[in-house]
Structure 1
Amino acid sequence: MEGLKSLFDTLGNLVWGPYMLVLLVGTGVYLTVRLLGLQFTLLPYALKQAFMPHKKKADGSDHEGDISHFGALMTALSATIGTGNIAGVATAVVLGGPGAVFWMWITAIFGMATKYGEGVLAVKYRVVNSKGQMSGGPMYYIERGLGKNWKWMAYAFAFFGTVASFGIGSSVQSNSVAQAVHTSFGVDGWITGVVLTVFTGIVVLGGIKSIAKAASLIVPAMAVFYVLGGLAIIIYNAHLLGDAVGLIFSDAFTGQAVAGGAIGAVIRYGVARGVFSNEAGMGSAPIAAAAAKTDHPVRQALVSMTGTFIDTIVVCSITGIVLVMGLISTGHFVKPELTGAALTTSTFNQLLPGPGGWVVSIGLIFFAYSTILGWSYYGEKCAAYVFGDGATLIYRLVYVGTVMLGTVASLDLVWSAADTFNGLMAIPNLIALLLLSGVIIKETKDFKAKRASGELH
């Protein structure tokens, strides 16, 4: 087992090396240029589309799809807003320095263009499966957009996604919940496992409509709770805010606050953890986008784009700023021996004694649980592509079982393997995005033209 873990550690370091980070961010930069900075000019319109009530056609009939724009966004956000927003940001700040927060922002800005492109292709190339439901995502836009000769790459993405879902989606997340519950309430892991497995089973076995309904309730509530809690800490320690923001910007280009002062480390950890958190370019979110009821691929793509903004620019920023404020208030990280979620919890608690730590503990529990729900849909669609629609029920049962397993087992090997396969998903997806960028531009122009003519609102 140690040898296998060592193998996946090595592969993971290769997959998540500098070439991957350049490819991920480079794709976002390339699409930003070709789309003329669409994420800047259309963000207000996109946010409006995301949260406005669902509209049917003029004749009263509904658009093709399974769930609303909001439901698709919440399903995607349920998977992206997770432990990365709490533990991942802390890891980036500890290993890269305060400036890593700035590079997370940069990654998110360009990642919005990537997420937009994924959304366009997901809806354009989606299909209706044997159960009358929408199926879409990178495997479908690779096969249908690039042609049959690329089908091997579609299968590769779907296989990587299926395997990754059991780790990054279920067992790793349930393990985080069990640890948080044990730390905060003293409850044994197996008890948490039983409760979590039952609640997961009830939602997951109901399919995408059940998942979207649960996500639409959980995600807004947990995000608002965490953001308001973080803002309360920032306001309570407002005298530290200016220095914290200043340090984030200065350290981003000097690396002075990092051990060793390496600017490369600041950029590397900021970019890597930013991508890990918002999943732009990973190919996961477009699987949810494909299920949306929409009148044009671009409309849902704009909604999908807002997910990266909410995840990183809003939620991750709260964590990052509070951590840097804690660094300034004490002259070092609150507990230098800690990292990840434990450091975030300690910092929140130090800056707002009492309720501060609870904000992180409760947030982590719900963030991780929502990720379990979102990734179950991603993995299910990937498994159905590889093994056929008949494999759906088997996949759901196995997935629910790994939730229980995660609460009682050591997951070092699982984490290493999941991290590797999660990264491998991005490679075929990014290749497809670059090769199909012309389609993204064409659909964007078509949408703008129809809006200008009044054909679309």
Structure 2
Amino acid sequence: MLDLLNDLLWGKLLIAVLLILGVWFTLASRFVQFRYFASMFRILGSSQAFKRDPNGHLSSFQALVLSVAGRVGGGNIAGVAVAIALGGPGAVFWMWVVGLMGMATSYFECTLAQTYKKAEPDGTYRGGPAYYIARGLGEKWKWLAVVYSALLLITFGFGFTALQSYAVATSVEDAFGVPAYYTGIALALVVGLIIFGGVKRIAKISEVLVPIMALGYIGITAVVLALNVSEIPAALSLIVKSAFGLEPAIGGGIGAAILMGVKRGLFSNEAGLGSAPNVAAVAYVPHPANQGIVQSFSVFIDTIILCSCTALIILLSGAYDPASAGTQGGVALTQMALADHVGEWGRMFVSVALLLFGFSTILYNYYLGENSLNFFSEENQSLFNAFRVAIICLCCGGAIMNLGTVFAFADVTMGLLALANLVALALLFKTGLRVMKDYDQQRANGVKVPVFDADKFADLNIDKNAWKAEAPQPDAEPQGEFAKAN
């Protein structure tokens, strides 16, 4: 039954929906992910991106690294290897397509999450697909918000936490000979110390850990590229040709390349799943589009940069054999490939990278689960503490579990999660476009830092308390709610 549902969701339905909506969002927004590509760096380079306001809201940068912590995980190391093994090198091309189109999808889902975010009594924000479904689509769609929250809890809060623990523990065991249950216990202890501090502590850990692990992985890839510089054009050509069936069948042919590319691409960058908006909503930003632009960049980091790093490490190595790749495990293939380039310490590097990626993803998964619980029962600390204990148990137990069925089940729930979110995005696209045009208009009028004026959107069910400014903006003349507060 799980195989049948997986085939229906991933083999037919989601591929069509993801690509159609990705192209629609890209064209209707006049290629927003490319128009504002330079702005991604400008926003992140401004003082506003790192600003911590008096109420202790997360900064735009903290929200970015927290979402990157979730997007960057086993999918970047093991997932890419699995895609190449089963779909051939052409799967990487379709991962790129999903990533580039997903940048537009991520822009709109994170912009909507910011628009419909809710102010909490403790000075933080809550938001995400469940919130923009309930507030944006109205009472008759409340059922979809409930379904989405339940799927988010099951998929990320429970399923993917166990899977990440298993991936980390088995990788450490292969590389260092440490029994999986020891790694599980250690992981549970460290994760427990962090998650009991809430999202602010998770963000503080992530803003240090994520740049280190991402730059370290990019650095080792740069070494590999330097050692194989003459082979890079051939590897890129193989990726493109295989994507369109212009090479002898590698993996499962063009159909498998598209299937594995789309499936692993979405699994890795999560654009359209609605997971990242849960984090994007907590940031303190002057305009929803700011966080949409920043979160679009996180998809680029994940898919176009980090997934490409793994792909090139594999395809440039002597360890990759198209005839037997399908029998090689994901992590094992990446480990063998890097060891072929730099020696046996490459296996340990992959294990350490997977440990850091998996650890950051578990923290992210915890917050998604907490946010889904909050939708059902606001700020229920007893419920949160029970969930934290469950996460600690999953970190420990997941390391030694046989997770074949869990993985298949998580694939199904992830597909349903994406479907629910994509339906909501299609229905709320006009609202997202309206918010984007407000940002565009302010930029066209010379406003350096566009500011969201909730009064201009009085017809929308927006929580105005979430858009009251506590401090004037240092980069521009105050506008809208910011001006009224100052």
Please report the TM-score for the alignment, with normalisation by the length of structure 2: 0.87
Corresponding letter in the other structure for 2:347:
G
C-alpha contact (below 8 Å) 1:65/1:134 kept by paired residues: no
Partner residue of 2:424?
432
Would the alpha carbon gap of residues 72 and 260 (structure 1) be closer, same or farther in structure 2, given more than 3 Å must change?
closer
Q: Does 1:376 align with 2:370?
A: no
Structure 2 matches for 1:147-226, cutoff 5 A?
147-226=138-217
Distance 2:202 2:304 in 1: 25
Q: Matched residue of 1:409: which SS?
A: coil
CA distance 1:330–1:449, shift in 2 (3 Å): closer
1:292-318 deviations in Å (ceiling 9; x for gaps): 010100001100100100000000001
Structure 2 counterpart of 1:105, one-letter code? W
| Larger mean Cα displacement after TM superposition, 248-257 or 30-39 | 248-257
Q: Is the 8 A contact 1:126 1:135 kept in 2?
A: yes
Matching residue of 2:469: none
Following superposition, the deviation at residue 55 of structure 1 comes to: 5.8
CA contact (8 A) 1:95 1:258 kept: no
Query: Closer, same or farther in 2 for the Cα pair 1:451/1:198, shift >3 Å?
Result: same
Partner of 1:443: 435
Distance in 1 between the 2:339 and 2:324 partners? 10
Q: How many residues align?
A: 447
2-structure distance, mates of 1:215, 1:310: 15
For 1:70-149, what aligned pairs fall within 5 Å after superposition? 70-149=61-140
Q: For 1:373, give the aligned amino acid.
A: L
- Contact kept, 8 Å, 1:92 with 1:269, in 2: the verdict is yes
Q: Please, which runs of 5 or more residues in structure 2 have no aligned partner? A: 450-486
The aligned counterpart of 1:21 is 15
Deviation at 1:12, TM superposition (A): 2.8
- CA shift in 2, pair 1:266/1:56, >3 Å: closer
- Structure 1 413/335 Cα, relative in aligned 2: closer, same or farther at 3 Å? closer
**Cα distance change on mapping 1:304 and 1:294 into 2, 3 Å:** same
Task: Please give the residue correspondences for 1:284-433 in structure 2 after superposition, counting only pairs within 5 Å.
Answer: 284-326=275-317, 332=322, 337-390=327-380, 391-433=383-425
Query: In the TM superposition, what is the alpha-carbon distance from 1:29 to its structure 2 partner?
Result: 0.8
Q: Tell me the alpha carbon deviations over residues 391-449 of structure 1, each in whole angstroms, 9 at most, x when there is no partner.
A: 22222221222111111222222222222212211111101111111111111111122
After superposition, the Cα gap between the structure-2 partners of 1:171 and 1:114, relative to the gap in structure 1 and judged at 3 Å, is: same
Are the structure 2 counterparts of residues 321 and 168 from structure 1 closer, same or farther at C-alpha, using a change threshold of 3 Å? farther
Judge conservation of contact 1:167–1:415 (CA < 8 Å) in 2: no
TM-score (norm 1): 0.93
Change (3 A) 1:349 1:425: same
Matches within 5 A, 1:250-261: 250-254=241-245, 256-259=247-250
- 1:106 Cα deviation from its structure 2 partner: 0.9
Write the distance in 1 (CA, Å) between the matches of 2:142 and 2:248. Answer: 47
Structure 2: distance between partners of 1:64 and 1:422: 34
SS in 1 for 2:442: helix
Q: Which residue does the alignment assign to 1:280? A: 271
Q: CA RMSD in A?
A: 2.1
Q: Percent of aligned pairs with the same residue? A: 36
CA contact (8 A) 2:70 2:364 kept: yes
Give secondary structure in 2 for the equivalent of 1:36.
coil
Q: State the alpha-carbon separation in 1 of the partners of residues 258 and 325 from structure 2.
A: 24
In structure 2, do the counterparts of structure 1 residues 269 and 177 end up closer, same or farther at CA, with 3 Å as the change threshold? same
* Equivalent AA in structure 1 for residue 206 of structure 2: A
In structure 1, what is the Cα distance between the partners aligned to 2:402 and 2:196? 26
**Partner Cα distance (1:254, 1:90) in 2:** 19
1:8 aligned to 2:2? yes
In structure 2, how many angstroms separate the alpha carbons of the residues matched to 1:418 and 1:404?
Answer: 19
Partners of 1:343 and 1:25 in 2: CA distance: 29
Query: Which whole-Å CA distance do the structure 2 matches of 1:285 and 1:64 have between them?
Result: 23
Paired residue for 1:249? 240
**Structure 1 pair 128/252, CA: closer, same or farther in 2 (3 Å)?**
same
CA contact (8 A) 1:63 1:293 kept: no
1:215-255 deviation per Cα after TM superposition (whole angstroms, max 9, x unaligned): 11111111111111112112112222121111111111125
Question: In the alignment, residue 400 of structure 2 is paired with which amino acid?
Answer: V
The equivalent residue for 2:464 is none
Q: Distance in 2 between matches of 1:178 and 1:367?
A: 12
Residue among 8, 27, 38 paired with 2:32: 38
Alpha carbons of structure 1 residues 210 and 258: separation in structure 2 relative to 1, 3 Å: farther
Quote the offset at 1:132 in angstroms.
4.0
Task: Mark the runs of 5 or more structure 1 residues left unpaired by the alignment.
Answer: 1-6
CA distance in 2, matches of 1:344, 1:40: 31
User: CA 1:351/1:15 → structure 2, altered by over 3 Å: closer, same or farther?
Assistant: same
Q: How far has the Cα of 1:284 moved from its partner?
A: 0.1
Shift of 1:146: 0.7
Say if 1:24 and 1:281, in contact at 8 Å, map to a contact too.
Answer: yes
Q: In the superposition, relative to structure 1, how do residues 279 and 330 fare at CA in structure 2: closer, same or farther (>3 Å)? A: closer
Q: Is the 8 A contact 2:93 2:240 kept in 1?
A: yes
Aligned-partner SS, 1:254: coil
Say if 1:146 and 1:456 are closer, same or farther in 2 by CA, change over 3 A: farther
Equivalent residue, structure 2, for 1:3: none
